[in-house]
């Protein structure tokens, strides 16, 4: 009997001790680990997604940004299909006007003097593009060209690099086709006259990528292209009138060979077109603009923007 009483006493004592330990462990000073899984908020994007099919096209200079943005947008926004045709600024404007494109990209403002029919297009400015004059690797000793020297090359007056401080080497001149936004910018802000170069040592490239490939493979070559294509193809760029093609020089328009990139729509952009354009110029796409060599419009001074804006567009 006594033995059973002792066993019952010990069991009671052990039960009281376990209650005490649990109570201490659940106090505010305790550190009992939790096995529950915390709730993590789902990552959200600030993209105002829209659905549907969107046909874009035009500028080959703006092309890399449009293509990268299209991939990122479609990855974030299910139900959106975006296609891009890189056929040049002129074709982009025509496509936006005739309805074959929802967005037509251009490196230039629409000239209603030359194309009054384009008055139905709405200008959506998305970024700043930097262009550069590039030369092939065998053109040694040339780090700067004046606007006058470049003009002489592209009008056929200078045909050998020794005439502008380079080696005794024939110049291979590479141009873009008429209607190219890059060519229009080059003629307006560097040559101040149309190109008139022709002959056996002259090549017309179809796109920004073709320009870069030709300069990389042709002896004595000179061309003009975006700084992005020049950098990605490890091509040699030259200063123009003593100013290098840098973002700091563009900000103040010290360096003249740059322009504003446009995504034109027929009438005001709506639906998927508006959503995509908003994304291209948004903070969400900042890393894409940087990767592809574009600057934000807000990074350039108001005076510099005004210098690139025709009076009719102000």
pLDDT in tens, 201-229: 999 999 999 999 999 999 999 999 999 99
Domain end marker among 198, 233, 251? 251
pLDDT at 45: 59
Question: What is the count of structural domains for the chain?
Answer: 2
Query: What string of DSSP letters covers the chain?
Result: -HHHHHHHHHHHHHHHHHHHHHHHHTSTT--PPP-SPPP-PPP--------EEEEEEE-TTTHHHHHHHHHHHHHHSTTEEEEEE---HHHHHHHHHHTS-SEEEESS---TTT-GGGGGEE--EEEEEEEEEEE-TT-TT--EE-HHHHHHHHTTS--BGGGGTS-S-B-EEEEEPTT-HHHHHHIIIIISS-----STTEEEESSHHHHHHHHHHSTTEEEEEEHHHHHHTTPEEEEETTB-S-HHHHHTTSS--EEEEEEEEESS--HHHHHHHHHHTSGGGHHHHHHTT-B-GGGS-HHHHHHTS-GGG-
Same domain assignment for residues 177 and 97: no
Could you tell me the residue range of the domain that residue 235 belongs to? 130-251
Same domain assignment for residues 76 and 164: no
Same domain assignment for residues 113 and 158: no
Domain end marker among 251, 274, 301? 251
pLDDT at 312: 72
Residue 228 located in a structural domain:
yes
Same domain assignment for residues 136 and 146: yes
Residue 151 located in a structural domain:
yes
Residue 14 located in a structural domain:
no
**Per-residue pLDDT tens over the stretch 3-59:** 443 434 444 444 443 433 333 333 333 333 333 322 222 234 589 999 999 999 999
The reported pTM is 0.83
Residue 189 located in a structural domain:
yes
pLDDT at 3: 41
Residues of the chain scoring pLDDT < 50 = 1-44
Same domain assignment for residues 243 and 268: no
pLDDT at 7: 39
pLDDT at 72: 97
Residue 145 located in a structural domain:
yes
Average per-residue pLDDT in the chain?
Answer: 87
pLDDT at 314: 64
pLDDT at 46: 82
């Amino acid at each position: 009997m006594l033995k059973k009483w002792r066993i019952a006493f010990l069991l009671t004592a052990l039960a009281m001790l376990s209650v005490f330990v649990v109570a201490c462990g659940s106090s505010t000073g305790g550190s009992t680990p939790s096995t529950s899984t915390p709730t993590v908020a789902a990552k959200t994007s600030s993209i105002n997604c829209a659905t549907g099919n969107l046909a874009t096209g035009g500028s080959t200079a703006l092309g890399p940004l449009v293509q990268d943005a299209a991939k990122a947008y479609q990855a974030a926004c299910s139900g959106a299909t975006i296609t891009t045709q890189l056929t040049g600024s002129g074709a982009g404007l025509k496509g936006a006007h005739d309805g074959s494109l929802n967005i037509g990209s251009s490196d230039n403002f629409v000239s209603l003097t030359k194309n009054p029919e384009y008055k139905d297009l709405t200008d959506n400015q998305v970024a700043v593009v930097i262009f550069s004059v590039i030369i092939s690797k065998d053109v040694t000793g040339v780090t700067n060209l004046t606007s006058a020297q470049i003009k002489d090359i592209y009008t056929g007056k200078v045909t050998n690099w020794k005439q502008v401080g380079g080696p005794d080497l024939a110049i291979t001149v590479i141009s873009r086709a008429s209607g190219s936004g890059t060519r229009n910018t080059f003629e307006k802000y560097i040559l101040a006259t149309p190109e008139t170069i022709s002959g056996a040592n002259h090549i017309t490239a179809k796109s920004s990528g073709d320009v870069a490939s030709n300069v990389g493979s042709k002896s004595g070559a000179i061309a003009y292209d975006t700084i992005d294509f020049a950098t990605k193809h490890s091509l040699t760029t030259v200063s123009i009138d003593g100013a290098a093609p840098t973002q700091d020089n563009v900000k103040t328009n010290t360096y003249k060979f740059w322009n504003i990139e446009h995504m034109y729509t027929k009438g005001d952009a709506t639906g998927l077109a508006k959503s995509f354009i908003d994304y291209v110029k948004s903070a969400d796409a900042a890393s894409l603009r940087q990767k592809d060599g574009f600057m934000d419009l807000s990074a350039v001074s108001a005076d510099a923007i005004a210098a690139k804006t025709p009076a009719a567009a102000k």
